[in-house]
Structure 1
Amino acid sequence: MPSELPAVSVVIPCRNDAVLLEACLQSLARQSLPPREIVVVDNNSSDASAEVARRFGARVVFEPAAGIPAAAGAGYDAAAERLDPDAVIARCDADCVLPPDWIARIAEAFAADPKLEVLSGPGVFYGMPRLSALLLSRLYLGSYYLAMGSALAHWPFFGSNLALRAGTWQAVSGEVHRNDAQMHDDVCLSFHLGQGRRCRRDPHLTVGMAPRAVQSRANVALRFRRAFHTLAGHWPQEYPWVRWTRRFAGSKAAVPTAPAN
């Protein structure tokens, strides 16, 4: 294992999620490798989210523009300004619960591969029977990976469990659709970084996530609408056949490596 690990700062977009945010921050307080910094982006919360974040020692950044793309972008900006380009920004959601070795595994992966720019892993729903959680999580994320992977010509990133170099973010911070609240910010980031960068999906880097995305037809429908909106927002320049042709043409752009064993 490399002796020197990169600094890892954590970004958490948040809007009116004080209760779940507290559980998330508690899990970060139990990390075997503490983060360099935690940045909680208050996206116009009307509850105690900002107060909870400060109580756990997080830096609170206020982002008035509504939507996860703007909030995540503001968090990446805030974290990157205090990091070297080779340091790492890890991203989770306010409703995530992180395993105690989450930051350590991220740091070790980037230290072991100096050319690695993006690392992402899956999530498992919590708050339900274990078997149901595993099956539903695999169905939900499996559909996401299959649909978006087909459109992108590589594995998509998953925003609830994502890490990237600070310098990598700075290189595309002006290109992503950060002011479009209907975008899936992780899919947008996948469009801009997935080809031409060294990226990896690690199926063993797993986080806990609340099942809100699948608890109602309205939530499921909203995610489908945003998925189509995100794809259409990158077309026609990034039509699926354009990206697949680029992948198989043997261009110098590198595509994400296979999942880690």
Structure 2
Amino acid sequence: MTAAAPPGTRTTVSVVIPVKDDDTELRRCLRALHAQTLAPDEIIVVDNDSSDASPDVARAAGARVEHCARPGIPAAASHGYDHARGDLILRLDADCVPSPTWVADMVAAFERRPDVGAFTGGARFIDGPTWLRTPLAVIYLGAYAGTTAAALGHLPLFGSNLGMRRTLWRGIRERVHRDDPRVHDDLDLAFHLGEYARIRLVPARTMGMSMRPFASARSFARRSAAGWRSVLVHWPADFPPIRWSRHAMRRMRARAPRSRGGVS
């Protein structure tokens, strides 16, 4: 299902940003995207019924605004992916600040590995107590990767820093849980995408993000509950031993020598 751009053609890039009532953070994010060493071909801001100036901020920055009335990040992100035109779809959140080489790093990763369907990366906190930023990011992202990888049987996707091939999204778009606002859209996407393509890591920490997940105990508890729900909605078909066995069989088939002249 994965496919690289034909030789001799330029890889085109769409950046998708779901947003709801984050006009100040969105303005900062869009400034960072306009400072990229490799400019994306389009920036799509998906307005999830904001009551602030988020859509106006996006238009003023030259982004294409898509409106999604269906509540929740899963619906908004999926809407943006549906309307992306680039060969690659990159995703970040409105409160993120990508480094100047983020787009270039993602494109280079895909061009080096045509066998990979999606790349994901880490992040660093850019607000909150300075002394807490690095250790908290390591613990937070490490815990997320460790717990979700056990359920998936492979690397998860991190919604603040991911990229996938548009052809791959087209193959799974009807399967994601876009109508459930209580799931983590990136984890749900990893469940479906990981069935058909490799997910790999971009090691550079080129994404800055807000420490808002830790703004309150209630906020963190809500995110944790969404994580569990994102796993449970895929059971029993994706119960870990069943999913692991399926992946093992797929890897075995991929490694098996192909028959020649009709003789195995």
Per the TM superposition, whether the score is higher than 0.5 is yes
Q: Does 2:208 match 1:208?
A: yes
Question: Amino acid of the residue matched to residue 134 of structure 1?
Answer: T
1: CA distance between counterparts of 2:64 and 2:254? 36
Equivalent residue number for residue 173 of structure 1: 173
Moved more, 101-110 or 193-202: 193-202
Distance 1:248 1:168 in 2: 21
In the alignment, which residue of structure 2 is the partner of 1:226? 226
Does structure 1 residue 66 correspond to structure 2 residue 66?
A: no
Checking the alignment, whether the CA contact within 8 Å between 2:124 and 2:205 is kept in structure 1 is no
Larger Rg: 2
> 8 Å contact 1:196–1:253 — kept in the other structure?
no
In the alignment, which residue of structure 1 is the partner of 2:157?
157
Amino acid of the structure 1 residue aligned with 2:123:
G
How many Å separate the matches in 2 of 1:253 and 1:178? 31
**CA distance in 1: counterparts of 2:105 and 2:90, whole angstroms:** 11
User: What is the Cα deviation at residue 214 of structure 1?
Assistant: 1.3
Pair 253,61 (structure 1): closer, same or farther in 2 beyond 3 Å:
farther
| Cα deviation, residue 66, structure 1 | 0.4
In 2: Cα distance, 1:215 partner to 1:222 partner: 12
Mapped to 2, the partners of 1:205 and 1:127 lie a distance apart of 16
- Alpha-carbon spacing, 1:176–1:206, altered in 2? closer, same or farther (3 Å): same
The answer to whether the 8 Å contact 1:92/1:159 transfers is yes
The answer to whether the 8 Å contact 2:101/2:206 transfers is no
Establish whether residue 29 from structure 1 lines up as the match of residue 34 from structure 2: yes
TM-score (norm 1): 0.91
Asked if 1:6 corresponds to 2:14, the answer is no
- Once the two structures are TM-superposed, the CA of residue 248 in structure 1 deviates from its matched residue by 3.3
User: Matched residues in 2 for 1:247 and 1:169: separation?
Assistant: 20
Conservation of the 8 A alpha-carbon contact between 2:88 and 2:163: yes
Asked if structure 2 preserves the Cα contact closer than 8 Å seen for 1:6 and 1:110, the reply is no
Distance 1:117 1:208 in 2: 24
CA deviation vs aligned residue, 1:176-204 (integer Å, no higher than 9, x gap): 00110001000101100113312211221
Query: After superposition, where does 1:83-98 map in structure 2 within 5 Å?
Result: 83=86, 87-98=87-98
| Partner residue, 1:257 | none
Provide the C-alpha distance between the structure 1 equivalents of 2:175 and 2:11, rounded to a whole number of angstroms: 26
Question: In the alignment, is residue 38 of structure 1 matched against residue 48 of structure 2?
Answer: no
Q: Residues 224-251 of structure 1: CA distance to partner in whole angstroms, max 9, x if unpaired?
A: 1101111110000000111222233444
Letter in 2 for 1:184: H
Q: After superposition, where does 1:110-259 map in structure 2 within 5 Å?
A: 110-249=110-249, 250-252=251-253
Q: C-alpha separation between the residues in 2 aligned to 1:67 and 1:179?
A: 8
Count matched residues. 248
Name the SS for the 2:116 alignment partner. Answer: coil
227-236 or 112-121: bigger deviation: 112-121
2:254 & 2:36 partners in 1: Cα distance? 35
What SS is found at the alignment partner of 2:89?
Answer: strand
Contact 2:17-2:92 at 8 Å conserved across structures: yes
Asked if the contact 2:75/2:181 (under 8 Å) is kept, the reply is: yes
Q: Which residue of 2 aligns with 1:259?
A: none
- CA distance in 2: counterparts of 1:229 and 1:213, whole angstroms: 17
Distance 2:238 2:206 in 1: 29
- The answer (yes or no) to whether the contact 2:106–2:202 under 8 Å persists in 1 is no
Q: Is residue 67–residue 180 contact of structure 1 (8 Å, CA) maintained in 2?
A: yes
| Larger deviation, residues 102-111 vs 190-199 | 190-199
Partner of 2:259: none
| Higher deviation after alignment, 15-24 or 186-195 | 186-195
CA distance in 2, matches of 1:91, 1:166: 12
* Structure 2 gap segments, 5+ residues each: 1-6, 256-264
* Corresponding letter in the other structure for 1:150: A
- Structure 1 residues without counterparts, runs of 5 or longer: 255-261
Aligned partner of residue 164 in structure 2, secondary structure: strand
